[in-house]
Every structure is written in C-alpha cells, then in structure tokens.
Amino acid sequence: MLNKDKPVHQPGPRQILAQIEAVGLCFSDLKLLKQFTDHPRKAEIIRGLSADVLAEIPSYVPGDKPTVPGHEAVCRIVAIGPDVQHHKLGERVLVQTDYRGLATPGSNAAFGYNFEGALQEYVLMDERVIMDPASGQRFLIPVPEELGSSAVCLVEPWACVEDSYVSPERQGPKAGGRMLVVAEAGRALLGLEALAAIAGSRMAVCGDESQRATLGALGAGLVASIADLGDATFDDIIYFGSDAATIAALNDRLANRGLINIVTGGKAIGKPVSVGVGRVHYGMTRWIGTVTSDACESYKHIPATGELRAGDRVVVIGAGGPMGQMHVIRNVCSGIAGVQIVASDVDDSRLALLMHKAAPMAAARGVNLTAANSTRPAAAQTFSYFALMAPVPVLVANAISQADDKAIINIFAGIPAPTRFDLDLDAYIHRRCYMFGTSGSVIRDMEIVLGKVRKGDLDTDCSVDAISGMAGAIDGMAAVENRTLAGKIIVYPSLHDVGLIPLSQLASHFPTVAAKLNGGFWCKAAEKELLAVSSRRI
C-alpha cells in the first residue's frame, strides 16, 4: 500500500536524514514483498550491533514489522544528529545497501529490507549501521553533482551484476574454520592431511577402523553418525562417498559460506540429489567434487572469481529482463577475448529491445551476440558459462545438463533460501562444474561501476524503460511482477502525483520531456526537464 501519512523520523544523535532523489524498482523488492518474514534479509540482526543500539533506530524494522522497500537509491543528506562524525549536511550520496557486517540467521542486514529503504521521500539512517566495520568506509558514497539521479541510482543494480563477476571465490578450506569429514567404509582418504591442517577444528564420521585411526591422528573428534553432531554446521565438509541420502543430509550441515567437497572415487551416486540451491545465492554455499579419490583435486577447478574466461560460450537465461540486459551489456563490453554470448528469453519483444541496445555495442567490439527464444525448438547446445536471471531451480538442473567441462553456473537470481531441488551431481562432478551465487554488492563494486559512469564507459540509463512518481510506484511493482516492461523503472519520490509512464508513452504525458530523450533512451536532460515540468504543475 501507499502510505501518504507516514511520519518523517527526525535524526537522533548518531543518525542522518536523507531526501531520496531517485530509486529504481527491482525484482528483489518483489521477492521481499512476497516472502516478507521468510526473506533472510528481513530477519533480526544476531551479530554486529547490540540490541540496545538497534532499539534506538526507528527505521530498523525486522521480522513482521512493516518496512519500506527500495535499495537502488541516490539521496541528499538534509539533517544530521549532533554526534554524526563521517557525514555532512548537503552531501549527495549513492547508497550501498548491503550491510554484510550485520548478520541475520540466514544472510545479512540490508537497506530496504530489515532497515527501511528508499521508496519514500525521506529516509532515516544510523551512522553505526552505514559504516563498514572492517574497512571504516562509508556505505554512503559521495557522487558528483553533474551526474543524473537515475544514472547514479542505477549504479547499485549494475554493481550487483559486477559483484557476481569480480567477487573472489574461496579456493581451499577456510583457514581456522570448522571441518567435517564423512567417509564411507573402505574409502581411501587421499589428500585429507593437507586439507585438515588448514582447518581450526575437525569433526569426523567414518565407516571403518583404519579411517578412525587416520582421522584421530589428524585431531578430529569422532562421532558415530551425522545425527550425533547436534546442530553443528561447518565451513568445509569433505565427503568420501557416493550415497545420495548422505549428501542430502550434509547439505543441512553447511554453514553460511560453507563448501562441500564430494569425493566419489569413481563410483556413481546413481540418482539425483536434493541440493539447497537457494542457499547457493543467499547463504553463498558452494558445491565441488571429484571422480578421483583425492580430496585436493576438487579445489583445483574452483575459479578465482566468477569472471568470464577467454573463449567462453555464455548464455544469459532471462536476458530480456532488466538484470539480464545488464549482464548481456556488461559481458559484451568486458573486453575478454573470444567470448560468444547467447541472450535467451521467452519474450520476443524483450529480446528485440535488448538487441536494439546491445547489438551495436557487440558489433563495435567484435563480440558474437545472438538472441534465442527458449520456447522454440532449437539444436542442442552446450555452454561454458551460465548466468541465470530467473529464481527457478530447474534452470540450475538444465544448466548442468548443458554444461561443458569446467562450466561456471552463476545463480544470479535469488532462489528462495529454503529451496531444495534434485540435481544430477554425477554429471556436475564429472564435468567439473562450479555453481555459485552472490547477493548484493560491496563498496568496491559500487566504485568500479561509478568510475565507469563518470568516465563515460558505461551509460546506466540505457537500462531505463519507464519513470514514475510515488503515485505510480504500486503500478511499477505490478509491472515488475508481471514483466510487462523490459527495463528498469525509476521512481522520483518528490513527484507525488506522477503515475507510471513507459518511455514509449512519454510524449503523450510530457512532450517536452520526450523531446529531450537521447535517441529514445532516458538521459540527464530528460530527467531535468521532467523535474522542471512537474514542479511547474504543482
């Protein structure tokens, strides 16, 4: 609902009040509205700030408390509390929304989730929340006045895309972490000594006396069964075996950011395994394996990052949507040699709009870009890189079936965290696939994208398909849900009475604004005219 009577919170001693210039609507906003208390980022904070501090922040709204969505935002600081140290009155800032230092049971806190977001005219933020505890950096990043509001707010979704390619992947056991070793009777424990030496603590469930002796010598605490581990979770799980039920049970023992290594020794699992595909994105869990008996082999094909590799044959599933367009354009412009990209979607009109934007970029860079409607029969193809834009578990299973050797599967869309799905892990392990997911972005990603925008290397406004004031925000969310618009929707909260207007219909509502479009695309000049015309109508 649109609450026209929501009060504006005045800042406390450590708080700031910011006026929202523009906010982009995102499919993640819709997931929050649909899942609400089940969303891992709507939960209460369990680590990072005390309950007493959180109680001082009226915009902290975990659990079943009403919230305000919207996390793709640019704003201006209009009031500050007397004890604010790192932010200044009048600063124009880009909002980094992902508070990774504030843990929830299944993820972390975030602006627009368990803290009120930007789909309102004013938002209250607390300096104890919006500072990175690890680096001391600000989550409100100063931006120059010359950049348009829409171009800046769209840095956030582009940064989420960037994060999925540049975020580092752990290529070995977690140093000082918790390790669990599970072994079927008769399995050789090759490579385990080197891996176990990295862990801080080790537990084991094993099947025969020689294994118990080996694991005991490595300092592992022995238990008789997985059930005897209680509620314990682990950063690394190494399973020497091939039993589907055991693998499914170990899924629940993975800690957030945990990694499971399945060492089959050449023996087939023989049937699909129930895998927590939702946690790959939200919990950043990882799955690797080897057909050898050496547990070290699995780690060797973990990529350093999720970046494309020279010669990759890439398919973007859901390429016609707002985030899919960003993936396609980002990869077309990556400069990585020999990349071929297939943009796949179920909607011809969305694909046509994407190709209108991306095909000239691809031609100028010599990138092979083609579009494919996935509802039509086509010759069987395989790929070495999959970017999945829809939160549909079967797409992960399909990717494994179409995977080349050492294929990377980027689960970009957030499949609900509790979701499990049967996957062919025999094929996954044999083909040395690697599936991963990232959620949100970090300051580094925002700065990378902001730098590209400032230099003119990236036009984030090419994503825009419609604009709105607050009066059209609900219609905008419906358009996101029903996928009736291919690009991003930008809401200007200061325009109270402006409804949802696709750019294709702009001339009938604001002809002078439409005249300022850049070849039909949104731009700073059109935005400036919109704000001016709308203010004259008030």
Assign residue 358 the CATH number of its domain.
3.40.50.720
User: What domain range is 355 assigned to?
Assistant: 313-416
Shared domain for 109 and 97, answered yes or no, is: yes
Shared domain for 282 and 187, answered yes or no, is: yes
- Of 39, 41, 38, nearest to 104 by C-alpha is 41
- Of 429, 107, 398, nearest to 287 by C-alpha is 429
DSSP-assigned states of every residue in 13-50: TTEEEEEEEEEE--HHHHHHHHHGGGSTTSSPP-BSS-
Measured between alpha carbons, how far is 358 from 90 in angstroms, rounded to an integer?
A: 37
pLDDT, tens digit (0-9, with 9 covering 90-100), for 8-66: 999 999 999 999 999 999 988 988 999 999 999 999 999 999 999 999 999 999 999 99
pLDDT, tens digit (0-9, with 9 covering 90-100), for 248-291: 999 999 999 999 999 999 999 999 999 999 999 989 999 999 99
For residue 238, is it within any domain?
yes
CB atoms inside a 10 Å sphere around CB 147: 18
Shared domain for 357 and 247, answered yes or no, is: no
Shared domain for 364 and 232, answered yes or no, is: no
DSSP-assigned states of every residue in 493-535: TT-TT---EEGGGHHHH-HHHHTT-BTTB--HHHHHHHHHHHH
For residue 305, is it within any domain?
no
pLDDT at 215: 94
Read off the tokens for 356.
């209108």
Shared domain for 112 and 65, answered yes or no, is: yes
Instruction: State mean pLDDT over 132-144.
Output: 92
Shared domain for 218 and 235, answered yes or no, is: yes
Measured between alpha carbons, how far is 438 from 45 in angstroms, rounded to an integer?
A: 20
Instruction: State mean pLDDT over 416-424.
Output: 94
Are 490 and 150 a contacting pair, CB within 8 Å?
yes
Indicate the pTM of the whole model.
0.87
Which residue shows structure tokens 């399973």?
A: 239
Please give the share of the chain, as a percent, with pLDDT higher than 70.
Answer: 99
For residue 422, is it within any domain?
no
pLDDT at 77: 98
Number of structural domains in the chain: 4
For residue 421, is it within any domain?
no
Angle at 14 between CA 8 and CA 18, to 5 degrees: 40
Shared domain for 25 and 150, answered yes or no, is: yes
Shared domain for 19 and 149, answered yes or no, is: yes
Shared domain for 467 and 448, answered yes or no, is: no
Shared domain for 123 and 134, answered yes or no, is: yes
- Of 129, 170, 198, nearest to 259 by C-alpha is 170
For residue 431, is it within any domain?
no
pLDDT, tens digit (0-9, with 9 covering 90-100), for 359-370: 999 999 999 999
Shared domain for 192 and 102, answered yes or no, is: no
For residue 424, is it within any domain?
no
How far separated are the first and last CA of the chain, in Å rounded? 23
Cβ-proximal residues to 276 (8 Å cutoff; 6+ apart), any chain: 251, 252, 254, 283, 285, 418, 419, 420
Shared domain for 52 and 78, answered yes or no, is: yes
- Of 172, 161, 391, nearest to 281 by C-alpha is 391
For residue 172, is it within any domain?
no
For residue 173, is it within any domain?
no
Instruction: State mean pLDDT over 423-444.
Output: 95
Are 157 and 72 a contacting pair, CB within 8 Å?
yes
**Residue 536: pLDDT band with limits 50, 70, 90:** low
Are 288 and 262 a contacting pair, CB within 8 Å?
yes
